[in-house]
Structure 1
Amino acid sequence: MTRIPHEMSGEPNPLRALTLDRLRSRTSMKWRAYPEDVLPLWVAEMDVPLAEPIVRSLTDALELGDTGYPAGTGYAEALAGFAEKRWGWEVAVERTAIVPDVMLGVVEMLKLVTGPGDPVVVNSPVYPPFYMFVEHMDREVVEAPLGADLRIDFDALDETFRRATTGGRRAAFLLCSPHNPTGTVHTADELAAVAALADRHGVRVVADEIHAPVTAGGVDFVPYLRLPGAENGLSLMSASKAWNLAGLKAALAIAGPAAAADLDRMPEEVSHGPSHLGIIAHSAALRYGTDWLDALLAGLDDNRRLLVDLLAEHLPVITHRPGEATYLAWLDCRALGLGDDPADVFLRRGRVALSSGIPFGTGGAGHVRLNLATSPELLTEGVRRMAAALD
């Protein structure tokens, strides 16, 4: 497999491109949810300009008036090219379908393999919408907490699968890969063990792989469907997180060879949900935005190292393991004595917004999630404010 090192990109670091004044002119959630005296380091939006190929593709479409309904397999073909180069994985375009976004795609995939009231297993602490969306669709969320090392605890997963399928119930495992909020990248051996356990217990795996392109230097992402034994799995992928395209909705559902018939049962109207402009933007990112991505990944590597140094200097009692992927840092603040919700203290006293760990489920209390996809200067200011909140 050919892996492109982060440092090979000739692009400038996009995390250094925008001033605070420029960022505060944005109208998206990250910059409008809190008053202007709050520094937002919370929701998963990046403080970057769009990659030039994406801007060009959207500008061309708008000039042409190409703003209708989506059609064709261009997005899947773009992902296939990216996946082959980055991960040595051959995506079967004929086993893909466009969906509005990853979480709505997760909902549709879970509908294919479970019914009302069926259990859906998650590895807590985990992305809060896993709870919200699954419960809203009338499924039962069942936790198999991560181990103390923030990796999958296979004894716990085995027991949870056993309980979830008692009495012949259908069950699914909603796998977060890479894991949000911990930044853990599951190894090939770990994913093979997931597939083996799922097969043993008759559990269907649906993998949320939205953060797949955002790995730290020297870390290789392994697509779940690339693993032997994962043939009946389903995956959701998108360019959204890696290229900051959350407002341009589009994602892809991908079926393993033994799950193709399941994907074929997805209602045709689901494919009407993605934005045509979103598909244009995501396809351009995957085809032409790799130099920009490599510059971003190098900048994120720098910020991960910077965060380690900043915490050691200003908040040494916080426990933090630098993530192997994503641009999110999971901080254990329990030694600070701030209670279950330290994010509330940091916001009120330090005027810095972080994500509370509580909505991430078991293992989240006493933690915060910090978004480090910002300039080194703003990251430094954020940690300074956190420290000041303790004075």
Structure 2
Amino acid sequence: MTASPLQALPLDELRRRSSTKWRKYGDDVLPLFVAETDFPLAPAITARLAEAVALGDTGYTPPDPGIAGAYAGFAQRRFGWQVDPARVRTTCDVMMGVVEILRAVTVPGDRVVVTPPVYPPFYSCIEEVGAVDERVPLVYTGDGWELDLLGIEAALAGGSRAVLLCNPHNPTGTVHSAQALADLADIAAGFGAVVISDEIHAPLVHPGVAFTPFLAASPVAPRVGFTVASASKAFNLAGLKCAVMVTASDEHTAIVRGLPDEVEWRTGLFGALANAAAFDEGSDPWLDSLLAALDENRRLLAELLAEHLPQARYRIPDAGYLAWVDLTALGWGDNPAGRILREAKVALHLGPLFGEEGKGHVRINFACAPEVLREAVARIGALAASS
């Protein structure tokens, strides 16, 4: 039975929020940039947090806040992936988990492979640990994007020590195939390298698309891989700090357990409570309704772009609520989001921040009401018509 689409909150209510999406710009701007969603929280999360507030349950996060078991259950139900709860450790957020694992497996000056266009904090996280990013762009096939496995192999052969993987990929919405991930694991193993897989968008894979967790891609993957994940993107919990670091081998479990205690202490109690509620089976119907809404919006965006911006190039993403749109043909320069903000009053994410491959591109967050999406694209289309 197909879930009914979740309904976004009205704009006047959303503008009462105090988060970045609703405070960075004035009320004349439609904000479709940062990865926050416009939907009500899952009821189980609201109830759990309300109970904590009523109890004054605002102290330190305990050693076992219930996340490990909840995440293992979620992974089994949604991905068919068996996670050992004893191999799950929490931290503040996904990027902090990435940084701390990188600190443990690299030394300053090491090179780390990234696959642009990619989430901008990947670059700063690598810089934070004193490593250097080595960029091996995704390959566009005409029907989507793929990992450049030969390019990654060459980078590792040249001395790179790790691969920072975005799976599913932000901003393209690519869900890497099981075969590509298995091949990546083999390549990394051949050079004694590691793969750190950011799987924060995994709960948001759309109908008809199979998601493969990196650690489940092959018998080799557990030997080379680490996974970092959170409920924050799917369930709109970025302000409630919590992520999980997952391993599947004794060696890598020891590495994560050996991280300083402070790495785990940075987990927020409300983040832990909210993530446990999100990963619980009781939140599955809400997630299915969210996916139904996002499925409609990703297709609606294609129709709107065809109507108002036929020069735009957009491939409907296989995961997530972020659209990667090429506006090069409009002639608005390397960073078209700047002009769109100034003249159309629509805030989009800046393409060049994702790497050289982002020039001429914008990233559009379509986790909003359909009427907001219609208005935003109509404004951009009017700007194009007047140019």
Give distance in 1, aligned partners of 2:5 and 2:310: 28
TM-score, structure 1 as length reference: 0.94
Equivalent of 1:379 in 367, 373, 380: 373
1:326-365 mapped onto 2 (5 Å cutoff): 326-365=320-359
Residue 264 of structure 1, CA deviation? 2.1
Residue in structure 1 matching 2:156, options 138, 141, 161 = 161
Cross-structure match for 2:21: 30
Q: Which residue of 1 aligns with 2:261?
A: 268
Q: 1:218 aligns with which of 184, 208, 211?
A: 208
How far did residue 8 of structure 1 move? 3.1
Aligned to 2:55: 64
Q: State the shift of 1:98 in Å.
A: 0.6
Aligned partner of 2:70 in structure 1 is: 78
Contact 1:172/1:206, CA 8 A, preserved across alignment: yes
SS in 1 for 2:82: coil
Query: Is 1:310 the equivalent of 2:304?
Result: yes
Provide, for residues 4-57 of structure 1, a one-character-per-residue CA deviation record: whole Å limited to 9, x for no partner: xxx533xx533x341111111111001111121111000000011111110000
Q: Which amino acid aligns with 2:96?
A: L
2:375 & 2:155 partners in 1: Cα distance? 42
Q: Indicate conservation of the 8 Å contact 1:121/1:143, yes or no.
A: yes
TM-score w.r.t. structure 2 length? 0.95
Q: Is the Cα–Cα contact under 8 Å of residues 345 and 389 in structure 1 kept in the other structure?
A: no
**Amino acid of the residue matched to residue 197 of structure 2?**
A
Q: Which residue in 2 is equivalent to 1:103?
A: 95
Q: CA deviation at 1:65?
A: 1.8
The alpha carbon displacement at 1:362 in A equals 2.6
Q: Secondary structure at the match of 1:218?
A: coil
For residue 38 of structure 1, what is the amino acid of its counterpart?
V
SS of the residue corresponding to residue 90 of structure 2 reads strand
Matches for 1:204-283 after TM superposition, within 5 Å: 204-227=194-217, 228-232=219-223, 233-257=225-249, 258-283=251-276
Instruction: Report the Cα offset of residue 73 of structure 1.
Output: 5.2
Q: Please, which moves more after superposition, 178-187 or 140-149? A: 140-149
Q: Give a deviation string over 1:313-352, Cα, whole Å, max 9, x none.
A: 1111111111100110000111111110011111111110
State the alpha-carbon separation in 1 of the partners of residues 222 and 286 from structure 2.
33
Judge conservation of contact 2:227–2:247 (CA < 8 Å) in 1.
yes
Structure 1: distance between partners of 2:267 and 2:35: 20
- Native 8 Å contact 1:73 1:93 kept in 2: no
Structure 1 contact 145–362 (Cα < 8 Å) conserved: no
Q: Distance in 2 between matches of 1:349 and 1:386?
A: 9
Stretch deviating more after TM superposition (340-349 or 131-140): 131-140
Paired with 1:358 and 1:387, the residues of 2 have a C-alpha distance of 21
Query: Matched residue of 2:134: which SS?
Result: strand
- Aligned sequence identity (%): 48
Q: Which residue in 2 is equivalent to 1:121?
A: 113
Q: Distance in 2 between matches of 1:141 and 1:17?
A: 38
Identify the residue that residue 4 of structure 1 maps to in structure 2.
Answer: none
- What is the distance in 1 between the residues matched to 2:8 and 2:90? 32
Pair 1:175 & 2:165 matched: yes
* Partner of residue 195, structure 1: 185
> Are positions 1:50 and 2:44 aligned together?
no
Check conservation: 2:337, 2:362, Cα contact below 8 A.
yes
What is the 5 A alignment of 1:290-305?
290-305=284-299
Cα distance in 2 between the residues matched to 1:362 and 1:177: 20
2:349 is matched by which residue type in structure 1?
A: S
1:159 is aligned with what amino acid?
A
Write out per-residue CA displacement over residues 343-372 of structure 1, whole angstroms, 9 at most, x where no aligned residue.
111111111000011010131111000000
* CA apart distance, 1:256: 2.1
Amino acid at match of 1:286: F
Matched pairs, number: 377
